[in-house]
Structure formats: structure tokens, C-alpha cells
Structure 1
Amino acid sequence: MVKVLFAGTPDVAVPALRALAGDAEHFEVVAVLTRPDAPTGRGRRLMPSPVKQAAMELGLPVIESDPGEETFIAELAATGAEAAAVVAYGRLLKQDVLDALPMGWYNLHFSLLPQWRGAAPVQRAIWAGDDVTGATVFRITRGMDAGPILAQSTVSIGAHETSGELLARLAEDGSHLLASALLGMAEGRIVPVEQPQGAYEKAEKITVEDARIRFDVPVFAVDRQIRACTPNPGAWCELHAQDDAEPVVLHVLSARPADMTHPAVPTDLKPGMLRVGKKNVWVGTASDPLELTEVKAQGKKAMRAADWARGARLGEAAYCD
């Protein structure tokens, strides 16, 4: 049996924690390392991370100390952990911390390393138009996502899949990959393989400004951007509904390239221009129109785009940018 410290913070890390905690034959999760409670929502109430909530449900000890503190290694040693499993923990680890566990620290990363090292691998894979991605388990070293690989699995990216949907799928698949890789290391069945050298795309974090939708590109590129930014940080644009009105923020929650076989689809829309049909809302791009299917206007609730458009008082020259 492997004594494991689990380190993680957001929802995407919870399936892996549950998988390890649920396999009592092979693993003992001796403690869970997560970020301290953080202010959340309009009331800014302190809330535990999703991983902390899951740990408390499972009856596991929780550590919220900063790994950079001098006392952390002693606290780590007191757990009796032999190895650490890391999923989206969110803090860098110093070499003395990495050296403190006899088996080492292992990360579940949601890309086929060495491609898409960094903070937003799933979002960047969708935005780039990749057809295939996957999950990788590797030993953590000082280089960013650069350690030797234990195991990988691949998945196809759905034609209309958002980053949130794909990440949820990878989190479930990756939880089993992580468990089997850790067990393989403990039993000596896996020899980690160094990552190949070369120039690979980095998965930089997507900012709110990055998520502002560009309509001056072909529709396939607009579609990729929206799916990559859904649900976080959320694709958006500024809506100019009337000539004399101030623009408002319009969040696009769901959209797809228009079905050009449909006779009602307009073919004369300039990039950003809106056109409302009986059951459809289209916006122009540099190629074919994009059909908006679900939106959330500033100060309003999320709704079907056609329902929103009926009450939005859109002028004939309404546009988004």
C-alpha cells in the first residue's frame, strides 16, 4: 500500500482524490494539501476549495500551509507520506520539498506533454483547433511541466465541445491514469521516460481580455475561441443595440457556425453585425455567420439567444465588437 499526500484545489482535482481515497487496497491518502479558504461570491464569504470540501466529506486530514514556509517539510514528514499526487494545486514547489518524499511528487496534467505545458492546456488545445488531446502523469521537477513521463492517455476533442466539458471528461479519465501510474511506480513496473526536447506550444493562462470575441476572423476561429473560453473566463463582446445607447457587455454562453443549408441564414452580414430571425440570432464573421444559441446580457439572466433578442430592442444596425 502506498501512503499518498494529495495536493489539489479546484473541482477538476476532485475525481482524482476520490479515486485514490476509494482504492483502499492500494492507497492510503494520509493528508490533503490545498489552498486556504478564499473569499467567494458577492458577499465575499470565505469558502473552502472544492478539494477541501471533498477531503472533509472523506474524513481526510487537510493541510493549508504554504509549501514555501520553513516548517512545511516537518509538517509533510509527520504525515508519513511516501509519494504525492498533484492535480491543479496552484503553487510552485521548491526542490527541498520535492526531495522530501521518498517516491517523489507526481502531477496529472491535461495535455499530451510536451505539448501545451502551462496553466490552460485544455483551453489552448481547443482554441488551436487540435483534434486530439489527453492526460499525462509525470514526475514533478523544477522545470514547468517538464519532468519525466510515467503514463499518457488520449481522447478526441468533440466538434462542439467546450473547455469545461472536455476538462470534466479528462478529469475522470485522468483520475484512473494517475492511480495506475502511482501504483506502477510503487511496484517497479514503470520507468519514467524523459520528455523529448524541442519547441512546443505553451498553454498561457487565458485572461478576461483574451476572451473578448473577435468577429473579424473566419467563423471556425470564432467558434474555437468561444468554446475555449467557456465556462472560464467566459467569452464576451460589447453589444451596440441602438445608435444612441451605451454599449453593454454580452456574454456568449453557447454558439456554433450557422447551418448554411438553412434558407433563412443571412449571407450579407459584415463582421459583428447582428441579424435576428424568428428562432435564430446570427452575427457576422469574416466568413459565414455564427449562430448565437445562449447568451447572458449585462445585468440579466442566461437565456436562449432568440428569447433574449425579442426583448433586447435591437436596432437594425445593432452589432457586437
Structure 2
Amino acid sequence: MRIVFAGTPEVALPSLDAIADSDHELLAVVTRPDAPSGRGRQLVRSHAAAWADERGIEVLTPQRPREPEFLDRLRELAPDCVPVVAYGALVPPVALEIPVHGWVNLHFSLLPAWRGAAPVQHAVWHGDEFTGASVFQLEAGLDTGPVFGTLTEVIRPTDTSGDLLGRLAVDGAGLLVTVLDAIEAGAARAVPQPADGITLAPKITVEDAEVRWDEPAFAVDRRIRATTPAPGAWTTFRGERVKLGPASPAPDAPALKPGDLLVEKKRVLVGTATAPLALGEVRAAGKKAMAAVDWARGVRVGTEDSFS
């Protein structure tokens, strides 16, 4: 089939690789416009755009996919289908109608669970035992279209969102190409999503990523893992923010009040509403991430210090 791909972040690259290696013809890549990044706020190409640039593939970067110029170019390209992986913009009905087989979206949950922008983070945060990926027909509603196929993935006890998303991106790429092959062969069948089991996964904010030490240890652990690597779990130490990597259980640790710190020879403990946790990496503002014991020695954590 003639394919135009829509995607933006790094998680879209396994699908781009899989499509490029398939029998389908990749005509162009639709992605978000260059965005300011880093301290210098210089404009940077999206991961998908950079991938296409390296291969001499046309890149389309509309501010909004309803722009007449973009719609005209999409009609000129005349794709049979537009697969989507984390594009990051709402696609209007007028654009959905251009490809013969519409737009098909690889979404990282088992729909109708976790519809929205952050399905993986919410699955980790809520302690789900498994999740998966779904390829569905994109329509005007939020992740509401009929589903062509799914795969499942176990969520491991130590998985961060980054870990889990990395596995789903690779496995989901294979699922996406399988669906495209079936569409081309006329063998694809999209099944409507059930009316029950719907949960929503709105974007995780920086405010959401602030650790609440008065929560139970399991909830603190989930919040940190769910917000790793982005937007990054954080807390306040001596009035300044520090970012935290995943922590681990410390069943032999002495009791500590929520947020209180205890520096031992080989670990740094922090209290929660239940059992303490052993900190992993800590990154102070403007510094590189380091092991918690090295951070604690560097800032000379005292008996009166705590996270807040």
C-alpha cells in the first residue's frame, strides 16, 4: 500500500523502521513542527522528522492537520492508509477521509482501557498487572474507533513507564505492520470497542510527578516509576527541587516518619506512610543524576533533613 506515516517522538521510530522494511511504500512522514529545546531553546526536529530526513523522505509539519496546504498535499500523495503512532495532534474528519483506508492508530493500551495521552504511565501508576497495545481505526472520538488487533504485555514490578513503553513500541510495530498487511489483503476486520471497561489516561503533569511522602510505600513507588523518565518524579530538599529515580523496598529498615531521611553506609532511606524506601538515583537542579549515597554525602544530609 501507499503509506503516509504520522508520528512525532522516539517511540514512533520502531514503527517507522518496520514499515520501511515492509512491502509497503512510505511516501512521507507527518510530524509536529520543530520545537524549542534545551537551555538555548533552539528549534529541534522531532525524532520522526530526523528519521525521515536521514532517508530522504518527505516531511510534512503542519501546525494543525486541518490546514488547507497540508490537506492539499495529502490528497496529492493519495495514500491508501495513514498509520499513526503518537502524532500529538487531533486529526479532523476532513483529513481522516482522504486515505482510502483511513488512519489507523497504534495505541499503547488494551482499549477501551486507558484512552488518552498517557496510557502507559497510568497503567504503571494504578498498579495494573498487564497492559498491551491496540491498532484501531482513528475517528473523531478520543481513541474510540473499532480495533483491528491487540497484543498483551506483562508489567514487571520494577518497570518504569520508559521501560514498558520501549517494549510496547517494538512489539507494537510488528502488530501495526501485520494490520497494514491485512488491510491490503482485504482480510482486516475491525471490532467495535466494548461499552464497559473504559478508563481515561490524561497527560501526566509536572505537578502530578511531585512525590507525596504521606502516601503508602507502594503508592510512592508507583508514582515514581510512572513518571520516569518523563516528566520525572521530584521532591523538595532544603527548599529546592531534586529529581528522583525509582526507589526499592527496604523491609529491614527502621521506622521513619514520612519524608524523613536516614543515611546508611550503602543506602539512603526515606520514610513514607508505611515502610521506608531505599532511594535510587537523585539529581539536584543543574547536576547529573547520581547514586543516592553519593548525593547524600555531597550535600551532607543531617539528622534534621527531610524531603517535603
TM-score, normalising length: structure 2: 0.97
User: What secondary structure is seen at the aligned counterpart in 2 of 1:175?
Assistant: helix
Distance across 2 between alignment mates of 1:122 and 1:195: 19
Q: Which amino acid aligns with 1:19?
A: A
Q: Which stretches of structure 1, 4 residues or more, deviate above 6 A after TM superposition?
A: none
- Give the distance between the partners of 1:162 and 1:185, measured in 2 at CA: 34
How far apart are the structure 2 equivalents of 1:220 and 1:127? 10
Out of 127, 130, 134, the position equivalent to 2:132 is: 134
Aligned with residue 269 of structure 1, among 256, 259, 262: 256
Instruction: Return 5+ residue gaps in structure 1 as ranges.
Output: 241-246
Paired position in structure 1 for 2:144: 146
Output the CA distance in 2 between the equivalents of 1:273 and 1:201: 35
Equivalent residue number for residue 28 of structure 2: 31
1:49 & 1:117 partners in 2: Cα distance?
24
Residues 1:7 and 2:2 aligned together: no
Tell whether the 8 Å contact from 1:34 to 1:89 is kept in structure 2 after alignment: yes
* Change over 3 Å in CA distance of 1:71–1:300 after alignment to 2: closer
1:63-86 deviation digits (Å, cap 9, x = unpaired): 112311123222101113110000
Kindly indicate whether the alpha-carbon contact (under 8 Å) linking 1:294 and 1:305 is maintained by their aligned counterparts in 2: yes
Count of matched residue pairs: 307
Once the two structures are TM-superposed, the CA of residue 299 in structure 1 deviates from its matched residue by 2.9
Deviations 1:167-212 (A, max 9, x none): 1110000000000011111211121000011252200111001100
1:42 equivalenced with 2:29 (yes/no):
no
Describe how 1:103-252 pairs up with structure 2 within 5 A: 103-198=101-196, 200-240=198-238, 247-252=239-244
* TM-score, normalization by structure 1: 0.94
The CA deviation at 1:301 is 1.8
Contact 2:258–2:270 (8 Å) recurs in 1: yes
What's the counterpart of residue 287 of structure 1?
274
Q: Which residue of 1 aligns with 2:73?
A: 75
Q: C-alpha distance in 2, partners of 1:298/1:30?
A: 43
Q: Identity percentage over the alignment?
A: 50
How far is 1:58 from its partner?
2.2
**Structure 2 residue runs without a partner (length 5+):** none
1:253 corresponding residue in structure 2: 245
Q: How much is the aligned-residue C-alpha RMSD, in angstroms?
A: 1.0
Residue pair 1:139, 1:149 contacting (<8 A) in 2 also: yes
Matches of 1:85 and 1:208, distance apart in 2: 30
Is the Cα–Cα contact under 8 Å of residues 30 and 80 in structure 1 kept in the other structure? no
Query: Does the CA-based 8 Å contact 2:217-2:275 persist in structure 1?
Result: yes
Q: 2:245 touches 2:281 (CA, 8 Å); kept in 1?
A: yes
Q: Give the distance between the partners of 2:140 and 2:91, measured in 1 at CA.
A: 8
> Does the CA contact (< 8 Å) of 1:254 and 1:295 recur in 2?
no
